[in-house]
Amino acid sequence: MKNQALLNAIIENAIDGIITINEKGIVESINPSACRLFLYNPEEVIGKNISVLMPSPDREKHDSYIESYKSSGIPHIIGHDRDVLGRKKDGNIFPFRLGVSEVKFEGERIFAGFIHDMSNQKEAENRLMQYTQHLEELVKDRTQTLNETIEALTVTQEEVNNTLEKEKELNKIKSRLLSMASHEFRTPLSTIQLSTSLIQRYSENTNNPKIETHILKIKSAIANLTAILDDFLLLEKAESNKIALQISLFDLQDFIREIIGELKLLTKKRQKIINIPNTDNNLVNLDKNLLKNCIINLVSNAIKYSGEETEIELWTSINSTTVTINVKDNGIGIPEEDQKHLFEAFFRAHNTGNIPGTGLGLHIVSRYVSLMNGSISFKSAIDKGTLFTIELPRL
């Protein structure tokens, strides 16, 4: 009796459902867990065929399963777990795992079914499957988008490559034209220069001021054209990578004094170029030709864009790693809206008016400074002048 009571207590309190049927498929017992799963009271199930708890087509076939086992003795589900579907009292279908055992008691065969609810697990599996399908669709969409993007990028890359090749060809043609035009113009300019000098000599005794005035205008125009051609040639060399650095050791202060001596011929009435000496060690390893062009260009601009009786300051500083060159004027300054374009080829600020120039000088300076692995910067304000600063590595 004590063992029977213990067994009943275990069955009554089991987490999983337990149902027993006889060999005719009639329910003989059902524990509380099974009742909760199927939503039946015990009296509604006990005495009825177990098929009442099954959905179609298992409902109609269950009795034939039992008869087949009784006649053949071959178990199909006994001793094995299998996932099946159950039908609740309200008609809802739910999944569970069924294990069936056969027990012989008092000459009769009793089948015990152990039922483990799989609803939560199946629901989680379904959610996981839906999420997986959603991810697969996203991956498919993203893959398609990526493939379309790659195709578009490939087409764009081909177009860019074609454009670059055409641009290279155009640059080569432009460089050849610039070089040819510059050289071809230089010959007639030299002839005009020579003829002008001869006319000036022949007219010395005529004492006609008008002739002298026109000769000076011709010489000024020749000088301007020659400067333009020089700028074009320098640009062509810079853009076609024909410039090779020629580094040499020299005294920077002596070098600057020589340049200032040449530039004094260009100054306006009572303009002064003030060189502030650097008392430090002035020996540097740089490209003299490129540096000379940069300094001449900056000081020439300072002369050109400053008025009479103004001062142009030029000073340097040298430390263990850097050579710094500063050129400062008190001229017209650079409008703020033009400053971002200042080093672009052929660009001229809007306030230059009728002052001659090609817009190439600063572009060439920036290219030369870059070739020397340096940098150029400036500060400027309208009618307050401009300060240019070149910083170069001290080799």
Q: What is the largest CA-CA distance in the chain?
A: 157
210-268 tens-digit pLDDT: 777 777 778 767 766 676 666 666 666 666 667 788 899 999 999 999 999 988 888 88
pTM of the model: 0.51
pLDDT band at 313 (very low <50, low <70, confident <90, very high): very high
Distance CA 388, CA 335 (A): 15
Same domain, 279 and 376: yes
CATH number at residue 23: 3.30.450.20
Q: Which of 68, 99, 117 is the last residue of a domain?
A: 117
Same domain, 156 and 222: yes
Cα dihedral: 228, 234, 236, 237 (round 10): 160
CATH number at residue 165: 1.10.287.130
- Contact between 388 and 298 under an 8 Å Cβ cutoff? The reply is yes
pLDDT at 68: 66
**Residue 34's domain spans which residues?**
2-117
For the segment 74-97, the average pLDDT, to the nearest whole number, is 82
Among 101-110, 278-287, 314-323, name the one with the lowest average pLDDT.
Answer: 101-110
**Contacts of 347 by beta carbon, 8 Å cutoff, 6+ apart:** 338, 341, 359, 363
Same domain, 23 and 70: yes
109-146 tens-digit pLDDT: 888 889 998 888 888 888 888 888 888 888 888 888 88
| Closest C-alpha among 168, 158, 154, 218 to residue 192 | 218
More confident residue, 112 or 299: 299
Q: Which helix (H) or strand (E) is 353 found in, with range?
A: none
Same domain, 63 and 138: no
Distance CA 242, CA 229 (A): 17
- The number of domains in the chain is 3
Neighbours of 256 (CB within 10 A): 23
Same domain, 196 and 227: yes
Cα dihedral: 259, 299, 214, 354 (round 10): 170
Q: Which of 94, 117, 140 is the last residue of a domain?
A: 117
Same domain, 41 and 68: yes
41-74 tens-digit pLDDT: 999 999 999 888 998 887 777 666 666 666 665 6
| Closest C-alpha among 227, 228, 235, 238 to residue 372 | 238
User: Omega into 57 within 30° of 0, i.e. cis?
Assistant: yes
| Closest C-alpha among 323, 314, 295 to residue 391 | 323
> Which one-letter DSSP state was computed for residue 57?
T
Q: What sections of 264-325 are H helices per DSSP?
A: 288-304
Same domain, 299 and 221: no
Tokens 């039922």, residue? Answer: 115
